[in-house]
Amino acid sequence: MTGTALATLDAMLAERARAHPDRAALVLPAPVLPGSRTTTFGELDRRVERVAAGLHAAGVGPGARVALLVPPIADFFVLAYALMRARAVPVVVDPGIGLRRVRSCLDEAAPDAFAGVPKAHLARRALGWCPGARLAITAGGVPVPGTTPVRDLEGDRGPVDAQRPAGSPAAIVFTSGSTGPPKGVEHDDDGLVAQAALVRDLYGLGPGHVSLATFPPFALFGPALGMTTVVPRMDPTRPARVRAGNLVRTARRTGATVMFGSPAVLDRLGRDAPPGTILPALRTVISAGAPVPRDVQRRVLALLGAGAQVHTPYGATEALPVATIGSDELLDLPDDGICVGRPVPGVEVTLMRVVDGPVAALTPELAVPDGEVGEVVVRGAVVSRRYADRPEATTAATVGWDGAPAHRMGDLASRDPGGRLWFAGRVSHVVRTDAGPLYSVPCEEVLNRDPAVRRCALVGLGTGPVRRPVLVVEPARGTRPTDDLRARLLGVAAADDRTRPVEDVVFHPGLPVDPRHNSKIDREALARWATGRAS
């Protein structure tokens, strides 16, 4: 590991501000007007210090939970770091997951204060979110009556010296809820610092780098790592609608050296970048959160200079990153599944047999040999120990590994002889059949390779423990969903061991995907849709 080990992300920011106060920390779209606005490390850290003291004075002290519904504008960075400095607990909910889910997250976390942009406050008032919040803070320039603008929290109160109460996390971050209600994941200071340091060391990032951050969770680490964080003009809750021309212009203008984006953003960039685009300064593109198809990676690589790479880390809100692989290695591997790479330093990974319900400890019978599919179990500094307010979920996701607690990812994978993990879908998407379990990703891979298929999803129909496996197929652009095509695809499925038990193929014009990454297929919704349509 490089650099000094500091205990909190806000201490890392303070050190960067001392070392290089005049360097650009943030380059963000100017509010209302075109163009951008730059904040230096010195300015950012000063505002963080003042807002932390203001939060304290307003009664938001150590351990207080504060909902943070703010996109990556300047106040997002100020509030996030100020809450950490005040040792309060930011509760991060992505509004992209939908209003109903936001509400369930807020009801569960019961924050003591609510910080949001004006739109979030309107929703809070109209929908009765956070009735127990003692303080409402408005981020962004437009004041909302009855709330405190971030600017009003700033004053000359001197530095805060707050201690985190025992047992209080540093942050609660909600999952996207692709497989049920979103869960609040507790991270402590050590875990957040370990995550930032791991991202820094894995991809060789740090001061001098310019990070084009289209994915808010990664944007947060930028100031602590001393990078200049650039946010393009886009709606972060609708990544698939980002304008590629905008990204290219912003990357050129700022000399971006690294870019973080969800697979949906990379897809738009690769498809719609103006012809002849080359971004020679951009050496590292990092995409997380969902599988990144190889053709998406190839199209992005075509925009980069020689020696640049697309990296696809694998992880979850509970543990990020767990494994990673660069395009140099990935594109040389057989195109036969989704390889998510080798475990990263400091994170141990093992695979356990698929078991429904809690498991107290890993035993030799649960071991999975190389090449076979099992549930991914992880431990290490970046792994969260618990869900907020959900002891049963914590128990269900925790398993003892040689006496130490480890986290069950709820994902399936196999390990190849080179120690690489191949993602095999989620445990909750396994379809049990009379012929044995079917795993979503390996099954779908068989039809996804067919030129007539844009993408497809395995669903299990019926209500018992054993289901009827059906593949729901979205045809490729310009391909008509005919009976002949259906018969042909059933033939393809019957000819492969991984899909032989599949009983039917049905067509769907556009598979439903998650709102956050626009790439995870909503198989639960599809199973309901396909019921009655399959023969």
Instruction: Return residues touching ligand ATP (CB under 6 A).
Output: 175-180, 182-183, 288-291, 312, 314-317, 338, 340, 409, 411, 423, 426, 520
In this structure, which amino acid lies at residue 524? E
Q: How far is Cα 228 from Cα 2, in angstroms, rounded to an integer?
A: 18
Q: In the complex with ligand ATP, which residue's Cβ is closer, 212 or 340?
A: 340
Q: Would you state the structure tokens that stand for residue 99, as one six-digit string?
A: 């209003």
**Kindly report the CA angle at 57 between 55 and 63, in degrees rounded to 5?**
55
Q: Would you state the structure tokens that stand for residue 438, as one six-digit string?
A: 């079917």
**Checking DSSP bridges between strand 89-92 and strand 171-174, what pairing results, if any?**
parallel
Q: In the complex with ligand ATP, which residue's Cβ is closer, 128 or 418?
A: 418
Q: Say whether 279 sits in a helix, a strand or coil.
A: strand
Report in angstroms how near the CB of residue 179 gets to ligand ATP at its nearest: 3
Q: Among candidates 226, 228, 272, which has minimal Cα distance to 249?
A: 272
Residue 171 bridge partners (DSSP): 187
In this structure, which amino acid lies at residue 73? I
For residue 488, how far is the Cα from the chain centroid?
37
Report in angstroms how near the CB of residue 313 gets to ligand ATP at its nearest: 6
Q: In the complex with ligand ATP, which residue's Cβ is closer, 180 or 371?
A: 180
Report in angstroms how near the CB of residue 515 gets to ligand ATP at its nearest: 11
Report in angstroms how near the CB of residue 177 gets to ligand ATP at its nearest: 4
Q: How far is Cα 454 from Cα 448, in angstroms, rounded to an integer?
A: 7
Reported as half-sphere exposure (CB side, CA atoms, 13 A), residue 115 has a value of: 30
Peptide bond into 34 cis (omega under 30): no
Q: Would you state the structure tokens that stand for residue 336, as one six-digit string?
A: 């036969």
**Checking DSSP bridges between strand 148-149 and strand 135-138, what pairing results, if any?**
parallel
Q: In the complex with ligand ATP, which residue's Cβ is closer, 289 or 501?
A: 289
Report in angstroms how near the CB of residue 97 gets to ligand ATP at its nearest: 9
Q: In the complex with ligand ATP, which residue's Cβ is closer, 409 or 505?
A: 409
Q: How far is Cα 319 from Cα 179, in angstroms, rounded to an integer?
A: 17
Q: In the complex with ligand ATP, which residue's Cβ is closer, 60 or 359?
A: 359
Alpha-carbon distances of 341 from 181, 325, 333, 375, 415, rounded to whole Å: 29, 4, 11, 16, 9
Report in angstroms how near the CB of residue 329 gets to ligand ATP at its nearest: 14
The dihedral through the CA atoms of 72, 97, 339, 404 has a sign that is positive
Q: Among candidates 436, 438, 366, which has minimal Cα distance to 402?
A: 366
Q: In the complex with ligand ATP, which residue's Cβ is closer, 53 or 173?
A: 173
Report in angstroms how near the CB of residue 236 gets to ligand ATP at its nearest: 14
Q: In the complex with ligand ATP, which residue's Cβ is closer, 467 or 516?
A: 516
Largest Cα–Cα distance of the chain, in whole Å? 74
Q: How far is Cα 249 from Cα 388, in angstroms, rounded to an integer?
A: 41
The size of the chain, in residues, is: 535
Q: In the complex with ligand ATP, which residue's Cβ is closer, 175 or 518?
A: 175
**Checking DSSP bridges between strand 228-230 and strand 284-287, what pairing results, if any?**
unpaired
Q: In the complex with ligand ATP, which residue's Cβ is closer, 129 or 314?
A: 314
Question: 523, exposed or middle or buried, with CB in 10 Å at 0-12, 13-18, 19+?
Answer: buried
Report in angstroms how near the CB of residue 18 gets to ligand ATP at its nearest: 34
Q: Which residue do the tokens 């023969």 mark? A: 535
Report in angstroms how near the CB of residue 483 gets to ligand ATP at its nearest: 33
Q: At what angle do helices 244-254 and 263-272 cross, to 10 degrees?
A: 90
Report in angstroms how near the CB of residue 176 gets to ligand ATP at its nearest: 4
Q: In the complex with ligand ATP, which residue's Cβ is closer, 135 or 198?
A: 198
Q: How far is Cα 264 from Cα 259, in angstroms, rounded to an integer?
A: 13
Q: In the complex with ligand ATP, which residue's Cβ is closer, 162 or 406?
A: 406
Q: In the complex with ligand ATP, which residue's Cβ is closer, 248 or 338?
A: 338
Report in angstroms how near the CB of residue 519 gets to ligand ATP at its nearest: 9
Report in angstroms how near the CB of residue 426 gets to ligand ATP at its nearest: 5
Q: Are 260 and 231 in contact (CB under 8 A)?
A: no
